[in-house]
Amino acid sequence: MAVLLLGLIGGMAGITTADIPDLVGNWTGPYVEYKSGQGFSEVESGLFFLNITEQKDRIIIGYSSFKKRDGTEVTRELAGVISADGTELSLAEQNNGYSNGKIISPDEFELTYLSDNDPISVAIDKFYRITEN
């Protein structure tokens, strides 16, 4: 019984802040989207960006940005939460929708996006950390 209890306590202690990835930085990547009335679209990379400006434990904040077809730049605040085990990410974009996904590595994650705004839209986004050269 004591061995089982020690194993349980040891297992619970295994999740530490060291397991939570640092996501602060700039991110971009390809995505596939469906927008009601407009159909499907696919973009290779470099159109949609996330800038995670701050992280406190498992909570992140920042903004997303992209250019509309007419060249107008759109920027939205975002906030998110990393799962307790450091493997999943959930985001809310200001007046725009929600994303949930998997953290693949410290430099890569994938999100599925859902919005019930008019027109409704869904997307699968893959993000890679933009590194400075």
Cis peptide before 119 (omega within 30 of 0): yes
Asked if residues 120 and 36 have their Cβ atoms less than 8 Å apart, the reply is: yes
Per-residue pLDDT in tens (0 to 9) along the chain, 133 residues: 554 545 555 555 554 556 899 999 999 999 999 999 999 999 887 788 999 999 999 999 999 998 887 889 999 999 999 999 999 999 999 988 999 999 999 999 999 999 999 999 999 999 999 987 6
**pTM for this model (two decimals):** 0.81
Return the SS3 of 19. Answer: helix
Residues written for the chain: 133
Distance CA 112, CA 57 (A): 23
Specify the pLDDT at position 91: 97
Residue 120, pLDDT score = 95
Determine the straight-line distance between the first and last CA of the chain, rounded to whole angstroms: 55
